[in-house]
Structure 1
């Protein structure tokens, strides 16, 4: 059990999970959580879906009420930490308050990347990161507007489906020639594009917007670099996220070359008393040449638990194989791992039927899995990814194959092979 004061900077998913892990692990000292927002830690995935179009706003708390109370956290809402003094183990808030810590966890997340010509908070211009952002966008969607979404990533496409469900006219503008090619094999990307078009979305692929013009009370006029003029009522910008690493950077902590607070396998920063986790943290993982940030629900949770274990002096949990998921309208996509140019994909099922499973392998070793409305099947295959041993991928597409039995036998055969 530890008894010192832990201060968590940030009050999102990672912060709440870390606080819970600290208490469950035996931390008996104070836990102070300083967050910019006025809300208790909440789940962000529903912001692009249920919060926008649900009949009622869903409950979003990361922790159930009983679990939150057990954490006994001193939550400072609307608190902006503006300066850190690692040598003194002290944080300074914008209101002039100073907070000393024995250990500090940076869970500051990230901020949407901005377009210079689309200011955050501008009239009819939206960015989506917070609950208040989602509530503002929901109100706009009630008028069934013409909405342009700049950015065809997971978030932008989730909102596109939600906006279509709300009766809006949707145009997605994506600079890449195809959707989500960093995360999906070409066949899945093509299916996603076809699905969006069939549901009524207009797609402008390989296009970008150079500026927007306002016409007083009238619509926004968007000008693409190709010279097209689009007239819309609302604009949503979803072009990625930048890590909130300014506090650490200004305090002299190590920052990864691509941005983000640099942490080791235990989520420790370059200061022995400061840890970082979630979207603000950049970590060197096995098989990678450079530290990277992994913006996912799973990573936010797992890094929080790893950081908590390190602060407690306990053995960290084993990091699971990277897992991502997205709800694209009525379709669920789940992914294990990340694609690579040298992977060979084998498909099981037919995406036209609404259910399919792809495995990208390297010499028979499963590396990347994508499940379309087949999350249970992909989870059954997860041990194959964890073990990283060759399996008979030529059998994967057989119609009469029992996947769970095949996975179990493949693991047994791989274990028996010298």
Structure 2
């Protein structure tokens, strides 16, 4: 039995960032990382974009090669942790190997929600989570197939754009009546829908999927309440479920909506076990209940917080949630969290290819959405971080310098204090 000081279960973005933060924070004990995949930790955002369309597969490594060359992180890839014993402070792998720990970090990520009628093992059904998933879909897209994408969320729409770029014919099924209506103001959603249709996508809203059937010759028939559709490939992108079974079976607290429940230090209900990334659920300012936040930024932020907590040093100041997506040639960035009761004001025109929305409650900016305007959103980020009430009339004026406007508001608030 080996005895690492820190055992990290998972070998993705959050795991790699946490390991690096521990070393940069001065930790000199042993670090062992256990991962299911046979790859070193890699970036996942490019899987639904560049990996599908680039002439050459991009480099995806989270950590540079020299970090691994130092040999101070022991990576056990191709290994699956099947049991966590918090009383004995040990993990058992599927191989039977047992690893002890002083502190454990769960960075187990999530798994795509699956449809029983569209099993992952079907040769023409695709789920997107791993590098191998992306490589397999890339090969399928080279034949310019007819593709059905089940799910009109960020991931499904990124894949839709990539597939159309590769020459595929695309139909998107979305259960809601509009695109991303939980995340975007209505006019941003309408712009996104219009752009997809202009690019050649067929969008089916509110369609009920009755079944998926294999046809002779390898094609697939989708039975819907609006008729049958025959396609070559099916992509299922209907959300992510947290990989929390290891923690659940160990008796750790799990949030009502799923996910390992962690506090502000990313500590679980066991003082020696921490968790970060897509597998977690955490209470956030202004939210009524713990929530999961699946984003690249959150994985990094929680990883650094967990590392700081394990080191016993001050944790980083919690960042305002930030998320980005590339939809074809357009970049959308979001700051803060959406809510049903927010009022939105827009600066610019989506039709021109650039716009910025502020979602506010009583003049306090809580959610920002930038269409090809990331620099503008960054300029006013302090208003979201400090939750400063503002007069928004000047925001709407094209002549207003947003950075100067934000600085003026901050100076005024400081003077009042």
1:272 equivalenced with 2:233 (yes/no): no
| 1:71 CA drift (Å) | 7.0
Please give the secondary structure, in 2, of the residue aligned with 1:136. helix
Counterparts of 1:414 and 1:228 in 2: how far apart (Å)?
Answer: 59
Aligned to 2:184: 184
> Which residue is 2:240 aligned to?
241
Please give the alpha-carbon distance, in whole angstroms, between the structure 2 residues aligned to 1:310 and 1:294.
20
Once the 2 structures are TM-superposed, how far is the Cα of residue 33 of structure 1 from its aligned partner?
0.3
Q: How many residues align?
A: 415
- Map 1:282-321 onto structure 2 (within 5 A): 282-321=281-320
Q: Work out whether residues 19 and 71 of structure 1, in 8 Å CA contact, stay in contact via their aligned partners in 2.
A: no
Q: In structure 1, how many angstroms separate the alpha carbons of the residues matched to 2:293 and 2:111?
A: 14
5 Å matches for 1:3-402?
A: 5-70=5-70, 72-224=72-224, 226-402=225-401
Q: 1 CA distance for matches of 2:199 and 2:122?
A: 29
Task: Work out the CA distance in 2 between the residues paired with 1:171 and 1:189.
Answer: 18
By how many angstroms is 1:218 displaced? Answer: 4.0
Task: Give the superposition deviation at 1:72.
Answer: 1.7
How far is 1:416 from its partner? 2.5
**Could you list the runs of 5+ residues in structure 2 that have no partner in the other structure?**
none
| C-alpha deviation, 1:66, in angstroms | 2.4
Gaps of 5+ in 1: none
Give the Cα–Cα distance (whole angstroms) in 2 for the partners of residues 382 and 193 of structure 1.
27
1:70, CA displacement in angstroms? Answer: 4.8
TM-score where L is the length of structure 2: 0.98
> 1:242: how far off?
0.4
Question: Which region of structure 1 is more displaced relative to structure 2, 386-395 or 147-156?
Answer: 386-395
Q: Deviations over 1:234-282 (max 9, x none)?
A: 0000000000000011111111111111111100011111000000011
RMSD: 1.2
Cα distance in 2 between the residues matched to 1:214 and 1:88 = 49
Contact 2:4 2:99 in 1 (8 A): no
Contact 1:174 1:208 in 2 (8 A): no
Contact 1:262/1:281 (8 A) holds in 2 = yes
- Over 3 Å counting, the alpha-carbon distance change for 1:70 and 1:398 in structure 2 is farther
Distance 1:315 1:101 in 2: 23
Give the superposition deviation at 1:338: 1.7
How far off is 1:208 after superposition?
A: 3.1
Check conservation: 1:106, 1:275, Cα contact below 8 A. Answer: yes
Q: What SS class does the counterpart of residue 238 from structure 2 fall into?
A: coil
Contact 1:391–1:414, Cα closer than 8 Å, also in 2: no
Quote the Cα distance in structure 2 between the aligned partners of 1:49 and 1:403: 31
Superposed CA deviations along residues 281-321 of structure 1, whole A, max 9, x for unmatched, are 11111221211110000000000000000111111001111
